[in-house]
């Protein structure tokens, strides 16, 4: 450059200010673009026009408030796979993991202490609960169990209605009793809402397929899924629970990949209203989830499955149930905050669930790290959702002569720890 | 056999039923095998059949009836019915997998010396060689030039 600039013969003493614009600590003046950006036209009959239309639709959804976002995302009705959380299909949990991009981690996060198998050492006290309070809770649990199984004079429950008629009221009493007793230890519960038999719905898109027959043959179509879940009860709170692990920790997790179509699971398609619902409408202040309680369906019998040598499917069923229900709930919570497929969550959403059939309790924790599950957004998305779960733990052995035999303190402690989870 | 209420459970000791293992038309998960079964069999029959006679651990069985088409017509314009058949999708237990084997693999043709096939192949190769252009022209056509 120096060779090209012609210096005057008489070198002036006051040099003009720096002519070289490429200095580090000065910035070139930012020029406002004089014309709007050139985009592909929307009205032409071309592939770029289709892409532009899709892009403009996405931008429109991003720019609108939350209610409009929800209604725009769930507006068009098309055939979709209806995912039932309580499914008797074999290996249902692997399929559901693939649909929701979830990795399963056996055991619970470090916050919770699992009750050890058959150790005789007394369980360590729950932080925040003294022994007297724990003894009160223990007596309340025995009272609830005895009420349903011993004190009430009941006829034998109708066929396949035992869960609804016996375990349902017991769980309701247990949940209400526990939340009431723990309200003084956990200030969240003072402003929380306990729903009885709520509805939780979620709608999302995951993979793609080429339409084999019909007037749209040969075109790509995203596979749509819908979960309609009816948990027994759930607790919704006003603040969000803290995350179990940071987002980056989920990058290393493994999600099973399944190449066959969801039809083979077996899973069936239907077309009806796409719903996204946490259990309460949008303006409700208690929009974050805390714990869900699920009852096992009446046709699920461990002993029958053991007789048919299907003992491994017992745990598979519970895991699939926890996974689907919690994914639907956390996903709906995230949508209520305005995060959707193209706007991924900035903070992880966390919820817990307890699935029980009266005697056996299984505990699940779910961390939603990503909602971007459709093909275009999932291409470079290293985040995965995480599910922690336990095997089913027995709460009590039986009821004899007005006494509960073999009450497992570890399970009660774990229940209490679950409910005491607060930010 | 299906249990009807009031009647004792019928048991068959030497069934006259035969299952046909077929290649699935659509891609199935690795633990699923597809059978064509007689119309009178039920899911429980299939499960017991495979477990007791063939010692195959069966997890779940799903069945459907395939309608054979009645659309084709013969030279007398009468409708010709293709028979209906029942298909069973059997999911194997204990983590076993099954893929339908390749029954008609392609054999590499090894032509015997001095036989008709070898002469025919040589002749076909010569013909193809004649149709090709002169390699010295470097892909240019023969439309122009001398």
What pLDDT is recorded for position A399?
87
- A269/B6: higher pLDDT: A269
Neighbour order of strands in the sheet with B58-66? B20-22, B32-37, B85-92, B58-66
Q: What's the alpha-carbon Rg for chain B, to the nearest Å?
A: 28
- Whether residue A28 contacts residue A21, with contact meaning beta carbons closer than 8 Å, is answered with yes
- What pLDDT score was predicted for residue A19? 59
Q: pTM for this structure?
A: 0.86
CA distance A382 to chain B (A): 26
Give the strand pairing for A80-83 and A220-229.
parallel
Q: Is the pLDDT of residue A9 over 80?
A: no
pLDDT for residue A6 is more than 60 = yes
Q: Which residues of A touch B59 (CB under 8 A)?
A: 90, 310, 313
Contact B93 A89 (CB under 8 A): no
Considering CB atoms only, which of B32, B60, B93 is closest to A264? B32
**ipTM over the 0.90 cut-off:** no
Q: How confident is the model at residue A120 (pLDDT cuts 50, 70, 90)?
A: very low
Among A8-12, A334-338, A398-402, A403-407, the minimum mean pLDDT is found in A8-12
Number of A–B residue contacts, CB under 8 Å: 26
Predicted confidence band at A303 (pLDDT cuts at 50, 70, 90)?
A: confident
The confidence score (pLDDT) of residue A5 equals 62
Query: Could you give the C-alpha distances from A402 to A94, A151, A169, A405, B114, in angstroms and in order?
Result: 42, 8, 19, 9, 97
Nearest Cα residue in chain A from B63: A266
- Is the pLDDT at B19 greater than 80? The verdict is yes
pLDDT score of A163 more than 90: no
How far apart are the CA of B6 and the nearest CA of chain A, in angstroms? 18
Phi/psi at A190 (5° precision) = -70, -30
Which two tokens mark A151? 């004190």
- The residues, ordered by sequence, that sit 6+ positions from A203 with a Cβ below 8 Å of its Cβ are A73, A74, A80, A224, A225, A226, A274, A275, A276
Region B125-135: what's the mean pLDDT? 89
Does residue A119 register a pLDDT over 50?
no
Is the pLDDT higher at A121 or at A367? A367
Q: What is the mean pLDDT of residues A18-29?
A: 62
A80: enclosing H helix or E strand: strand A80-83
Can you name the residues that pair with B89 across neighbouring β-strands? B34, B62
Contact A266 B57 (CB under 8 A): no
Q: Inter-chain contact A266–B62, Cβ cutoff 8 Å? A: yes
Q: Which of A107-121, A275-289, A368-382 has the lowest mean pLDDT?
A: A107-121
Phi, psi of A419 (to 5 degrees): -75, -25
Report the largest interatomic distance among the alpha carbons of chain A, rounded to a whole angstrom: 117
Task: Assign B37 a pLDDT band (cuts: 50, 70, 90).
Answer: very high
CA–CA gap between residue A255 and residue A373 (Å, rounded): 13
Is the pLDDT confidence value at A356 over 70? Answer: yes
Report the 10 Å Cβ neighbour count for A374.
18
Is A278 strand, coil or helix? coil
Q: Which of A264, A310, A313 sits opposite B29 (nearest CB)?
A: A264
User: Which residue has tokens 């402690």?
Assistant: A413
Task: Compute the average pLDDT of residues A264-287.
Answer: 92
Quote the minimal CA–CA distance from A318 to chain B in Å.
Answer: 18
Residue A299 has which token pair?
């046709």
Q: Are B29 and A260 within 8 A, CB to CB?
A: yes
> Cα separations (Å) of B144 from A124, B131, B134, B140?
97, 18, 14, 9
Count of Cβ atoms closer than 10 Å to residue B47 Cβ: 18
User: Taking Cα atoms as reference points, which of A236, A231, A233 lies closest to residue A196?
Assistant: A233
Q: What is the pLDDT of residue A129?
A: 77
When computed from its CA atoms, the radius of gyration of chain A, rounded to whole angstroms, is 28
Q: What is the distance in angstroms between the Cα of A289 and the nearest Cα belonging to chain B?
A: 35
pLDDT surpasses 80 at A112: yes
Q: Does the pLDDT of residue A225 top 90, yes or no?
A: yes
Burial class (CB in 10 A: 0-12, 13-18, 19+), B51: middle
Q: How many CA atoms lie within 13 A of A11 on its CB side?
A: 0
Counting beta carbons within 10 angstroms of the beta carbon of residue A335, is it exposed (0 to 12), middle (13 to 18) or buried (19 or more)? buried
A264, B28: Cβ pair inside 8 Å? yes
- The alpha-carbon gap from A80 to the nearest alpha carbon of chain B, in Å, equals 20
Contact B60 A89 (CB under 8 A): yes
A299/A289 Cα distance (integer angstroms): 28
List of residues 6+ apart from A68 with CB closer than 8 A: A61
pLDDT of residue A118: 47
Residue A233 φ/ψ, nearest 5 degrees: -160, 160
Q: What is the DSSP string of A34-91?
A: SSPPP---SSSSSHHHHHHHHHHHHHHHHHS-HHHHHHHHT-S---EEEE-SS--STT
Residue A328 and residue A351 in contact, taking contact as beta carbons nearer than 8 Å: no
Percentage of chain A surpassing pLDDT 90?
A: 63
- Give the confidence band of A406 by pLDDT, cuts at 50, 70, 90: confident
Residue with structure tokens 């098309």? A78
- Determine the distance from the C-alpha atom of residue A418 to the mean position of all C-alpha atoms in its chain, rounded to a whole number: 16
Query: For residue A15, what pLDDT band results from cuts at 50, 70 and 90?
Result: low
Strand partners, B37: B86
pLDDT at B7 (0 to 100)? 80
- Which of B93, B96, B99 to mutate to test binding with chain A, by most A CBs within 10 Å of its CB? B93
Please report the pLDDT score of residue A422 as a whole number: 84
* E runs forming strands in A148-249: 193-196, 200-210, 220-229, 233-237
For residue B1, is pLDDT > 90?
Answer: no
| Helices and strands in chain A: count of H runs, count of E runs | 10, 14
Q: Is the pLDDT assigned to residue A53 strictly greater than 50?
A: yes
Q: How far apart are CA B139 and CA B133, in angstroms?
A: 7
Question: CA-CA distance, A405 to A409, in Å (whole number)?
Answer: 12
Question: Tokens standing for A239?
Answer: 């603040």
Comparing A338-352, B31-45, B72-86, B131-145, which segment has the lowest mean pLDDT? B131-145
Chain A partners within 8 Å of B60 (Cβ): 89-90
Q: Tokens for A86?
A: 């309580």
For residues A246 and A230, give the distance between their C-alpha atoms in angstroms, rounded to a whole number.
30
Type and span of the H or E element at A355: strand A349-356
Per the prediction, chain B carries an average pLDDT of: 90
């Amino acid at each position: 450059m120096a060779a090209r600039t012609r210096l005057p013969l008489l070198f002036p003493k006051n040099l003009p200010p720096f002519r070289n614009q490429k200095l580090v600590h000065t910035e070139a003046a930012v020029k406002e673009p004089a014309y709007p950006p050139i985009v592909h036209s929307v009205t032409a009959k071309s592939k770029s026009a289709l892409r532009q239309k899709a892009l403009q639709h996405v931008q429109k959804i991003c720019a609108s408030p939350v209610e409009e976002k929800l209604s725009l995302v769930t507006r068009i009705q098309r055939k979709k796979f209806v995912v039932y959380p309580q499914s008797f299909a074999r290996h249902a949990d692997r399929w559901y993991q693939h649909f929701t991009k979830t990795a399963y981690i056996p055991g619970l996060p470090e916050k919770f202490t699992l009750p050890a198998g058959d150790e005789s050492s007394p369980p360590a006290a729950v932080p925040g609960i003294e022994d007297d309070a724990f003894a009160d809770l223990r007596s309340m649990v025995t009272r609830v169990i005895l009420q349903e199984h011993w004190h009430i004079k009941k006829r034998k429950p109708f066929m396949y209605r035992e869960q609804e008629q016996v375990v349902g009221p017991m769980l309701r009493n247990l949940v209400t009793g526990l939340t009431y007793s723990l309200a003084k230890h956990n200030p969240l519960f003072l402003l929380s809402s306990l729903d009885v038999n709520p509805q939780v719905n979620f709608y999302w898109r995951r993979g793609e397929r080429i339409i084999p027959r019909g007037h749209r043959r040969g075109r790509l179509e995203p596979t749509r899924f819908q979960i309609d879940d009816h948990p027994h009860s759930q607790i919704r709170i006003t603040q969000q629970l803290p995350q179990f692990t940071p987002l980056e920790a989920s990058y290393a997790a493994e999600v099973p990949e399944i190449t066959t179509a969801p039809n083979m699971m077996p899973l069936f398609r239907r077309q009806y209203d796409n719903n996204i619902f946490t259990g309460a409408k949008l303006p409700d202040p208690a929009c974050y989830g805390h714990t869900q309680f699920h009852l096992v369906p009446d046709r699920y019998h461990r002993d029958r499955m053991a007789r048919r040598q299907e003992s491994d499917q017992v745990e598979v069923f519970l895991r699939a149930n926890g996974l689907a229900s919690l994914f639907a709930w956390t996903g709906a919570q995230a949508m209520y905050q305005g995060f959707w497929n193209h706007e991924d969550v900035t903070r992880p959403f966390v919820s817990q669930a307890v699935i029980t059939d009266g005697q056996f309790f299984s505990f699940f924790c779910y961390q939603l790290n990503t909602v971007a599950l459709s093909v275009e957004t999932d291409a470079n998305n290293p985040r995965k959702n995480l599910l922690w779960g336990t095997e089913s733990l027995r709460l009590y052995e039986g009821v004899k002569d007005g006494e509960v035999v073999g009450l497992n303190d570890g399970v009660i402690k774990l229940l209490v720890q679950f409910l005491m989870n607060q930010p | 056999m299906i249990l009807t209420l009031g009647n004792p459970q019928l048991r068959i000791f030497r069934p006259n039923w035969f299952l046909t293992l077929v290649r699935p038309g659509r891609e199935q998960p690795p633990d699923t095998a597809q059978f064509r079964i007689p119309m009178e069999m039920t899911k429980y029959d299939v499960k017991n059949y495979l477990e007791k006679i063939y010692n195959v651990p069966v997890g779940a069985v799903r069945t459907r009836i395939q309608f054979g088409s009645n659309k084709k017509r013969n030279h007398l314009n009468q409708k010709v019915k293709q028979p209906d058949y029942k298909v069973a999708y059997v999911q194997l237990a204990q983590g076993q997998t099954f893929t339908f084997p390749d029954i008609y693999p392609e054999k590499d043709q090894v032509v015997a010396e001095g036989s008709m096939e070898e002469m025919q192949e040589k002749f076909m190769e010569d013909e193809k060689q004649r149709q090709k252009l002169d390699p010295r022209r470097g892909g240019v056509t023969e439309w122009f030039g001398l």
